[in-house]
Structure 1
């Protein structure tokens, strides 16, 4: 019996389905359209979409069906599909008043505000409500692009079309919020809600403002009010989920997300929030699946890409993390979390150079971020700079010393305060129990900075146990061993790091430096080639090869060719492009520098360092307008940096537009009120214009801002010295020395005492300064150079001898001593010149000195050989060419001498010794 009943019921169901299908087959497109309207009236968009699609299968040209399908898809968050249907409706000439406002909203949801402002905003509509609707969306588009004035105009015009139009009032409130006028924004919203209590987007914005003011409870209530006005309003659902995630209320976030899924399960925002929730729950595989689905719908979403990178990092898929995060930063460089994760990813995957390159653009913006400061310490540590690493670890600790959860920071703060023994014990304990390496790194950095090399070696052994496959430990061991002056053992340790990772550049670089110190440039070259054999695109190694070639006498084109290889291998990297611009600039090849800059800008138009280098090249080439435009763009990209305005001021001065230069310097000061560069520039312009009182007032303002620094007193003294007010200048410099015993102040004080005619007072000051600062080699170098300039070679020799005793292997000092001794006919001059050339071979200035001395001594053949080579290495140096010409005259080689002297004569005023040139030519 039971079986028969079941069969009969099944048969009846089949019959019913057949009847329904038969009925559907007989429906007309128009009846399906009518049915869809009914479904939409009852908020059943899914059923409506089915009916509309059925209608369009029978009649694809049904404009209203296309429009309504686009509307339902848009309401469900399927913006891409909605755009397709709405455009088809538009092509079928369906009412522009209905289609265009909706299409504009769709473009906005797709992140395409320009299409709204440039295309759709121009469409002429007839209905005031439609005009107002489109104008509000246009205003939102302008706001999205940062054009607040155009946005305000659009909202005002919407209110003209429909007075009191709620969405326009919400738009105006949004502008006030952007301008940080939150009370004004709230007042406008209250006005809008008084007229339209169900205005859900007004409740939404009110919630956002309340949350920004710290009223989380009020914000939550406002979002719930928005959902009362429109139960399927996704932004309110999204905000509630986001708020709960931020507050760590994961259960509440999950419940709200389930409610959101009932409304729009396939909406990209729903999927993104699911990915975020899974990530916070540490279910990284589920998070990965959700974020991939989200990126399939919105592939260029910066937040989606950032989350995808964070997930891949947690899954230890560092190459995929890099792919996502580099894409994010190319689009949105200020996204701090993406940069932080990318840096950490590079560190974990053994790419410290890339970590450093990623960190450097934001180093001036992390002073108040203890996490980033600590990360910077780790980056510098892994790049072998223990000194800087220690600085950043200490800054992180000083910024956040009371956070008990950061035991490492607390220990570091103890180091800052001088409690070294306690701090070291604490760091050692943390390192012993923590599986991470941050405490190890902080401890090792501190020990290396304090030159506690034996303790550092013990700590490095602990690090090595945690990460036996990481080349960092043997590399750091090498640093410590170098500190102990055990060069052979250090070299072995660096070699060990390269065995573990042949592409580990820091170890290769330090070994190359050791090779160069041993006069083995070929061995140094092989170090970098070894890195490239493992990692052919390694930017650091490619640039290091170029630098090595430049140091060993490589010609400009050869060095540039090596840098070009780095560019070809890494077209999107800034460093090699900046290096190429720099090398051409250094060689005064301004046209080539300009071409390199244009190529760099074509690939990296928004890279701050590239823009700066390009602006320099444009300025050097005399392309002032281009340079100003480049720095103007840089100012927009870096609104908190005074540097672009300083560069612009420099260009305006070169273009003799001093008024514009002053304006740019004042802009720089408005960005950074204590920018010494800007203050100095304003002083110079004031002094140039005869405004001495204003210039001195600026100097005294700097003294108030920086009371313990020398710069304000130095600038005051310089202002007086420029007017030859020697006594006043000396007083300013003396006042500065009371605050700060800086050598530069001492030098300037001595110079103005000499200039004021008080040579005796100057000598007494010099003697007292040397007595009190016996190790101040910089001041003694100044005295030596000043004596040489006034041809007091005996005094110069005395000072240079002291300098050579202090730095016996300084080739420049040896060279200068040799020259001073030679002027007093001291036979030891050649001995010092020979040593200088041995320490630094193939240096034109050193070869010039030795060559002249050899010719004077009678060793003409060797002297001429050295001078000829010096000329070939430095063909632009007129002085070396002149010395070569004089040596040729002495050697009786008149034809060759005449050729050299003729070249010098062509220089005219550019070479000051033209009288001697003419005299020598006359004697040939």
Structure 2
């Protein structure tokens, strides 16, 4: 540091010290009692800021002044700082300030903080002495019960308030709220009119009257009532807020903005002011301003249900789905059953391909949605994505019956018909809706169905219709490119993808498709530049960063190089869990436990309330054998997800590894308390019982599962009793037969065939399969299952028959071609390699397909090419242990024993994690 800078800093420090000294001297002139009197005068004038300053000065000189603490709490509360008010009230309590004054104000403060449970738990039974204090407290207790939906307790509290002080207006208002909540709006209005007759200047009665008019849809009458309240008390915040809400609901955003400006003059820092600012900005689609305002609101009232809900909506519409989920999960238990929080959380899970989570949020309200067409349609989507086609159809049908002209619901019903196999009806319905609807949902459903069925010409026709509606949407051109790729017209596909990127240079799906084309043409540098171009336009694009990391991994990059690229995604998106999870997963996959732990610690520090981050951290700690820390982490996860059995299942797994089976059993039982039908928990308990020699108890658990889930094939649960296992599979098969009669589907057909085989009824299983295929000749799903089962039973001729029929229907399906190649190889069919070559051409760089071709080439004697393919497959999938074993066999066959030993040693280190250790040991022994 140079001398000039040193002198400047010294002078600055000296000046600051002198100023502080002068301030202390200035304060020292007044006694605390004088400042206390001054503060009371300011409070009488409603100058809360000046009062707070004087009270803080008084407390600086004498922190033990109980009245100053109490008055400071009042000033802070009136100024919109309930958090600070609660702190001061607690201090006043500790200084023995009269409970008759502290307790009622504390109750109101806690209500403002959104803590009704704390009010009823801590204060409901507090005994006060004066009638006014009793009435005030019991009114707050009644409001707290009402906020929790406990109407009987609320009514009793309001009645106690009126007994303590007859005619206590706030209690009468509470009783009016109760009547209104029960649907007795006339009775509630009559109570209010009676109260206003006696006390016409009861501004909060006018406020509630406005609320009742608003509930009846009479916005004009409601606004008039709110303005009456403001005539009596111009700074009455609830009335200002209610007027803003009406203006926002009517779309009068400019008028709402003007009213908020008035509100800011009265209470600029009040959480309600910040909430309304956030609402206005949200409706104006200014998500950055909305986020800033709602964060200020939540800073003061972190448990605010409406604040958390609005914060979730803001993040959802900003496409920050992980943040939206965090807010909405917090809001869910604090908002009504069919709140916006629940709807948006379900939609968010569906949008992010997490249908099981969506189902978990939906199930608690299924009995409440029969008259809500939107929730019925949402339920249909949830069940459809969870594979429960029949249930989905039921809910879509109910939604369509309530709202028959809604194209979205007709589209959903058509998709269910598609899933059931009624494709002709489904396509007709989709085409009709797409033609009539200006939106794109039906078009997209139609295109997706054609692409899934590999009907590329029909898909292109549907895409042309969509393009007329949305010519400038990059999605349209990306879909066309996908269809053209299906027709193996790579040049035309490339042009479509390029057009999509021309419309939106940051459109990742098109960039990814072009990168795949570049890789197929052996141009990895061009592929890399695609993603770098996306990042130039969108520097925070997580997908682009992750794609670059995957490219580096395919190119043989080191763990450090791959981690650096993922780290850039983390830096650009510190609140996005996806790259952090990828980084932890990378290190765990490479067995770099210390690095995984470090990445997990950073992730938890940044996102301490994200369950998936805690889950990943727990896995890293378990890998490091730090079982105590892992258990603590999953304990935090359990606190965040009280309705999820997963944390307890994870803890049980850790305790089994730590050989603490009693503790593991306790956690499995906790998992069952959370989710009584958790098959994982039940199976874990049964296995622990078997391990401890408690076969009787194990069988009881298994039979309980059978009662709860009669249509589940759970015979494997009876591992300790072969006879019981066979009986269970027979019972499961009987249940599936009933299910097939009620609603035939490929899913149930597969389950029935599986149960028949497991129950030892092979002949009956074969007969059922033959009958089913005669009646459902186009059921390719069941046929594929049958082919795979035949292959597993080494009935290669039977498998080949099914695969040939499948290939007639889907000649360019790489999975079917690959499976056919394998079966043909077992049958010594000379066309085996031809099938495998075609599969690899249609789906290049797929490890499983490369492995099949390599094995067949090795059998043919083409060792050089086979070994090259094995090596490439392992570069793409280094954790694929079966491919590594096949590679080791090939190396031995080629006389490369030292290289084979290296591969086999890697497999041997996996221990029980790789089931073919007996063969590994035999091969090592022979080297």
CA distance in 2, matches of 1:441, 1:109: 51
Is the CA contact (8 Å cut-off) linking 1:508 and 1:531 kept in structure 2?
yes
Q: Tell me, what secondary structure is at the counterpart of 1:193? A: helix
CA distance in 2, matches of 1:776, 1:756: 24
CA deviation after TM superposition for structure 1 residue 197, in Å: 3.1
Q: 1:668 to 1:625 in 2, by over 3 A?
A: farther
Is the CA contact (8 Å cut-off) linking 2:408 and 2:442 kept in structure 1?
no
Select which of 606, 611, 628 maps to 1:603.
Answer: 606
* Deviation string, structure 1 residues 482-524 (Cα, Å, up to 9, x no partner): 8999877666555444323322345445555666677766555
Q: 1:885 to 1:551 in 2, by over 3 A?
A: closer
CA distance in 1, matches of 2:673, 2:529: 50
CA distance in 2, matches of 1:221, 1:679: 57
Q: 1:420 to 1:906 in 2, by over 3 A?
A: closer
The residue number in structure 2 matching 1:35 is none
Is the CA contact (8 Å cut-off) linking 1:847 and 1:866 kept in structure 2?
yes
The residue number in structure 1 matching 2:673 is 667
The residue number in structure 1 matching 2:579 is 576
Select which of 154, 162, 166 maps to 1:197.
Answer: 166
Is the CA contact (8 Å cut-off) linking 2:508 and 2:534 kept in structure 1?
yes
CA deviation after TM superposition for structure 1 residue 715, in Å: 2.5
Q: Is 2:153 the counterpart of 1:184?
A: yes
Cα RMSD (Å) = 5.6
Q: 1:915 to 1:412 in 2, by over 3 A?
A: closer
Q: Tell me, what secondary structure is at the counterpart of 2:245? A: helix
* Residues 532-543 of structure 1 aligned to structure 2 (within 5 Å): 532-543=535-546
CA distance in 2, matches of 1:455, 1:277: 47
Q: 1:600 to 1:158 in 2, by over 3 A?
A: farther
CA distance in 2, matches of 1:922, 1:676: 41
The residue number in structure 1 matching 2:104 is 136
The residue number in structure 1 matching 2:121 is 152
Q: TM-score under structure 2 normalisation?
A: 0.71
Q: 1:882 to 1:290 in 2, by over 3 A?
A: same
Please, which moves more after superposition, 183-192 or 271-280? 271-280
* Deviation string, structure 1 residues 520-541 (Cα, Å, up to 9, x no partner): 6655544433332222112333
Q: 1:238 to 1:544 in 2, by over 3 A?
A: farther
CA deviation after TM superposition for structure 1 residue 120, in Å: 3.9
Consecutive unaligned residues of structure 2, counting only runs of 5 or more, are 1-25, 321-344, 418-424, 451-457
CA distance in 2, matches of 1:910, 1:94: 64
The residue number in structure 2 matching 1:4 is none
CA deviation after TM superposition for structure 1 residue 346, in Å: 6.5
Q: 1:718 to 1:210 in 2, by over 3 A?
A: same
* Deviation string, structure 1 residues 63-108 (Cα, Å, up to 9, x no partner): 5664466456667776555433333344465994533333334455
CA distance in 1, matches of 2:757, 2:409: 53
Q: 1:149 to 1:345 in 2, by over 3 A?
A: closer
CA deviation after TM superposition for structure 1 residue 603, in Å: 1.9
CA deviation after TM superposition for structure 1 residue 602, in Å: 1.8
Q: Tell me, what secondary structure is at the counterpart of 1:214? A: coil
Please, which moves more after superposition, 406-415 or 613-622? 406-415
Is the CA contact (8 Å cut-off) linking 1:457 and 1:480 kept in structure 2?
no
Q: Tell me, what secondary structure is at the counterpart of 1:165? A: helix
Is the CA contact (8 Å cut-off) linking 1:139 and 1:152 kept in structure 2?
no
CA deviation after TM superposition for structure 1 residue 568, in Å: 1.0
The residue number in structure 1 matching 2:702 is 695
Q: Tell me, what secondary structure is at the counterpart of 2:30? A: coil
CA deviation after TM superposition for structure 1 residue 833, in Å: 5.0
* Residues 695-734 of structure 1 aligned to structure 2 (within 5 Å): 695-703=702-710, 712-715=711-714, 719=718, 723-725=722-724, 727-734=726-733
* Deviation string, structure 1 residues 536-576 (Cα, Å, up to 9, x no partner): 11233333444555567655544433322222112122333
CA deviation after TM superposition for structure 1 residue 251, in Å: 3.5
CA distance in 1, matches of 2:318, 2:923: 67
Q: 1:213 to 1:507 in 2, by over 3 A?
A: farther
* Residues 351-750 of structure 1 aligned to structure 2 (within 5 Å): 360=352, 363-364=358-359, 365=361, 368=369, 398-399=398-399, 402=402, 439-445=438-444, 447-448=446-447, 456=462, 460=466, 463-464=469-470, 471=474, 492-509=495-512, 524-547=527-550, 549=552, 556-585=559-588, 591-615=594-618, 617-618=620-621, 622=625, 626=629, 629-630=632-633, 632-634=635-637, 636-637=639-640, 656=661, 657-669=663-675, 689=694, 690-691=696-697, 692-703=699-710, 712-715=711-714, 719=718, 723-725=722-724, 727-738=726-737, 739-740=739-740
* Residues 269-284 of structure 1 aligned to structure 2 (within 5 Å): 269=238, 271-280=240-249, 282-284=251-253
* Residues 773-812 of structure 1 aligned to structure 2 (within 5 Å): none
CA distance in 1, matches of 2:56, 2:93: 17
Is the CA contact (8 Å cut-off) linking 1:322 and 1:345 kept in structure 2?
no
Q: 1:454 to 1:262 in 2, by over 3 A?
A: same
* Deviation string, structure 1 residues 169-198 (Cα, Å, up to 9, x no partner): 234434443453323322332232233135
CA deviation after TM superposition for structure 1 residue 726, in Å: 5.7
CA distance in 1, matches of 2:34, 2:200: 25
CA distance in 1, matches of 2:920, 2:225: 89
Is the CA contact (8 Å cut-off) linking 1:737 and 1:745 kept in structure 2?
yes
Q: 1:867 to 1:607 in 2, by over 3 A?
A: closer
The residue number in structure 2 matching 1:312 is 281
CA distance in 2, matches of 1:899, 1:582: 24
Q: 1:562 to 1:98 in 2, by over 3 A?
A: same
* Deviation string, structure 1 residues 699-741 (Cα, Å, up to 9, x no partner): 23334xxxxxxxx241267548963446524422431331136
The residue number in structure 2 matching 1:30 is none
Is the CA contact (8 Å cut-off) linking 1:720 and 1:728 kept in structure 2?
no
Is the CA contact (8 Å cut-off) linking 2:515 and 2:527 kept in structure 1?
yes
CA distance in 1, matches of 2:294, 2:114: 23
Q: Tell me, what secondary structure is at the counterpart of 1:440? A: coil
Please, which moves more after superposition, 730-739 or 409-418? 409-418
Which of 1 and 2 has greater Rg?
1
Consecutive unaligned residues of structure 1, counting only runs of 5 or more, are 1-56, 348-353, 380-384, 432-438, 704-711
CA distance in 1, matches of 2:828, 2:251: 81
Q: 1:728 to 1:521 in 2, by over 3 A?
A: farther
Is the CA contact (8 Å cut-off) linking 2:434 and 2:443 kept in structure 1?
no
CA distance in 1, matches of 2:428, 2:899: 72
* Residues 43-82 of structure 1 aligned to structure 2 (within 5 Å): 61=30, 63=32, 66-67=35-36, 70=39, 79-82=48-51
Q: TM-score under structure 1 normalisation?
A: 0.71
Select which of 257, 267, 280 maps to 1:288.
Answer: 257
Select which of 43, 51, 54 maps to 1:85.
Answer: 54
Q: 1:74 to 1:520 in 2, by over 3 A?
A: farther
CA distance in 2, matches of 1:187, 1:289: 42
Select which of 146, 160, 169 maps to 2:138.
Answer: 169
Q: 1:749 to 1:474 in 2, by over 3 A?
A: closer
CA distance in 2, matches of 1:414, 1:849: 40
* Residues 851-866 of structure 1 aligned to structure 2 (within 5 Å): 851=854, 854=857, 857-866=860-869
CA distance in 2, matches of 1:447, 1:315: 34
